[in-house]
Structure 1
Amino acid sequence: MGNIQLAKEIRTAIKQNNVEKVVELIGSDMELMNIVTPFGTWLHVAAKHGKLEIVKRLIDLGADINRRGGVFGGGAMNEAASKGHLDIVECLLSSGAEMDVSEPERNPLFAAILGGHIDIVNLLIENGIDIHVKYTGESMKNMDALAFAHERGQKEIAILLGSAKKEVYNDTAQNETTEMLDYIREHFGPIYQTISEIVPGSKVAVHIHIILPTKEQDFITLVTTGMSDVAMDETEESTGVKYAELVLKLPANWPIRKDDMANNNHYWPLKWLRMVAHIPHSYDGWLEAGVILPNGEPPMPFAANTALSCILLKETEAGRFIDSVNRVIDFFTLLPIYEEERQIALQKGSDYLIETFDEYGISDVLNLKRKNIGLDG
């Protein structure tokens, strides 16, 4: 059977809700399972047509639930949300599907608003989708979900989104956080997900915001908030950095789902981001560009799959944020380095090391197997 004919038969079987036929045609061929047709993957097709049992079977067989495709160029959840298939959106969420807000066309919340599916809007809000992300392009300017609902005449959905916003902005501290989040979205991109913490007795609670790759930025960006809730040095004589937040860049394919965090090979960058954010508040010190933090002494590799063993703090392109009460908040990028590179910095200074990285074309994006310039003699 030719590829075109096979594709037609699979699509027909999905539309007819013939579960066994779909399984028989695809078999164990994972390439065929995740092939992207003009209609998206087979999971896109099943989600669009509301075929819940087929969606479940495809997921069980190993379908990539986050593969992009289809009319909107997003995930299968986007197709289900646009057509009002609440049960399939629920299924995809429970299976760990991402709520992609990198572009308005991929955002399932915008898809649900466009279709007028308030039940799906409510479900997505309950599952923590970012309702504040704003988009600017050919058809919209600085538009968030609430503005989009008003534009599309979806009054009930607009009321629901408005009440959700009130819950988020219900106190001064949260308003300050929102001010910071707007700055992060402007300088780093839409926030896909936030990993929060509750630490009894700690001065601050550090939140890690995940920003997915885009066409312009082929990497995942992690940005903290909460570290700057308390000054690193509260003495009036202090002339150094008082308030700071941190940034760490990961490869675009880095595993960041909740289940991935059980593996230290995946978790250690997030662990160190949080640890570094707590250092000034746990040890009465402060951080600034050029500081190097070793993983023990002598430094040990962060994980079994890399020899990187130290963290260098450097200035980031976001620069400084000045909030509404005139607090100056610096952003520092965490750059994992080798012990041999730390020795270069100790001998010649951190600025020299950073300049050498630039000469070698070493970027801020984590590369587990990158060249160790400290071994270059």
Structure 2
Amino acid sequence: MTDFYEKFRNKKQFDDHAEAISAHLDERYTTEEITVFHEIFSPDFHLDVYFVQSEKHNFNFLITAGMSTLEMTVPTAVENPQAYQYAELMLLLPKAITFGKVTGNNPNDWIIGMLKESARFPHHYDTWLAIGHTLQATADMEPYAENTNYTGVVILPSVTFDEEFTSVQAGENLINIYSVFPLYADEMNYKIANGYNALLDRLIEKNAQEIFNENRSNLLA
């Protein structure tokens, strides 16, 4: 555990990146429209989640603020790796989904947990996240919680927000905001076997919506 703490203590942290995300939201929404789920204890790096409820949209959304405080390990083989080093994650939600005080025991807390686990993954494993990448809830592909059948996520470009919203400049660094789309186990296996483009074809064929659906139809049905 000591080595785990040391790993993050010795990494350069860009605290201004989280501040840039906060300012990015403040420019577009009022204080009353934004709720911040502050992280009380952070064993690695501080990661808050903002919950935006605005009448501008027919949905609400969650967005992380803190994933981009650390640089992701982008392979040198990737063209222009500097463009992918920093990211935050977003999840669009139907208006009916709400959150009280996040304790980990409420029915919808797993959704915030899913977002935070995904945001921490690249830093815990010295890798990176970008469009087309998938993450599993567990190695055995078990669901995120007892009240959901979702077992993983795929990282997608937002089709709801344009680049002016999903690209945030923090000094010389670019922060990408990616959309998270939860997947069922067989959908995850399909993507692993056939690749991102095959899964994307299924998303388009089924007219899958970016807004989270607790009980959406299986893409492979």
Q: What TM-score do the two structures reach when normalised by structure 2?
A: 0.78
Which residue does 1:251 correspond to in 2? 94
Which residue does 1:93 correspond to in 2? none
Query: Does the 8 Å contact 2:181/2:212 carry over to 1?
Result: yes
Q: Is 1:319 matched up with 2:166? A: yes
Query: Does the 8 Å contact 1:233/1:242 carry over to 2?
Result: yes
Query: Does the 8 Å contact 2:74/2:128 carry over to 1?
Result: no
Distance change (3 Å), C-alpha of 1:267 and 1:259: closer
Gapped regions of structure 1 (runs ≥ 5): 1-172
Q: Is 1:280 matched up with 2:122? A: yes
User: Helix, strand or coil for the counterpart of 2:142?
Assistant: coil
1:331-346 equivalence runs, <5 A:
331-346=177-192
Query: Does the 8 Å contact 1:292/1:312 carry over to 2?
Result: yes
Distance change (3 Å), C-alpha of 1:205 and 1:372: same
CA RMSD of aligned residues (A): 2.6
* 1: CA distance, partners of 2:198 / 2:76: 32
Q: CA deviation at 1:200?
A: 5.0
Q: Deviations over 1:138-188 (max 9, x none)?
A: xxxxxxxxxxxxxxxxxxxxxxxxxxxxxxxxxxx776544332323456x
Q: Is 1:360 matched up with 2:200? A: no
Gapped regions of structure 2 (runs ≥ 5): 1-13
- Identical positions, percent: 22
Distance change (3 Å), C-alpha of 1:267 and 1:176: closer
Q: CA deviation at 1:267?
A: 0.8
* 1: CA distance, partners of 2:43 / 2:145: 29
Match of 1:181 among 3, 18, 22: 22
Distance change (3 Å), C-alpha of 1:313 and 1:174: closer
Query: Does the 8 Å contact 2:20/2:168 carry over to 1?
Result: no
Q: Is 1:330 matched up with 2:176? A: yes
Q: CA deviation at 1:358?
A: 2.6
Higher helix residue share: 1
* 1: CA distance, partners of 2:109 / 2:99: 8
Distance change (3 Å), C-alpha of 1:351 and 1:319: farther
User: Helix, strand or coil for the counterpart of 1:262?
Assistant: coil
Which residue does 2:60 correspond to in 1? 220
* 2: CA distance, partners of 1:199 / 1:229: 16
1:195-274 equivalence runs, <5 A:
195-202=37-44, 204-214=45-55, 216-233=56-73, 239-240=80-81, 241-258=84-101, 261-263=104-106, 265-274=107-116
Higher strand residue share: 2
User: Helix, strand or coil for the counterpart of 2:177?
Assistant: strand
Q: Which stretch shows the higher mean deviation, 283-292 or 314-323?
A: 314-323
* 2: CA distance, partners of 1:339 / 1:177: 32
User: Helix, strand or coil for the counterpart of 1:329?
Assistant: strand
Q: CA deviation at 1:230?
A: 1.5
Query: Does the 8 Å contact 2:59/2:94 carry over to 1?
Result: yes
Q: CA deviation at 1:329?
A: 0.9
User: Helix, strand or coil for the counterpart of 2:22?
Assistant: helix
Q: Which structure has the bigger radius of gyration?
A: 1
Q: Deviations over 1:65-87 (max 9, x none)?
A: xxxxxxxxxxxxxxxxxxxxxxx
Q: What TM-score do the two structures reach when normalised by structure 1?
A: 0.48
Query: Does the 8 Å contact 1:305/1:368 carry over to 2?
Result: no
Aligned AA for 2:205? E
Aligned AA for 1:248? L
Distance change (3 Å), C-alpha of 1:297 and 1:185: same
Aligned AA for 2:34? Y
Q: Which has the higher contact order (CA 8 A, sep 6+)?
A: 2
Q: Deviations over 1:215-258 (max 9, x none)?
A: x4222200111111110128888743100011012221113111
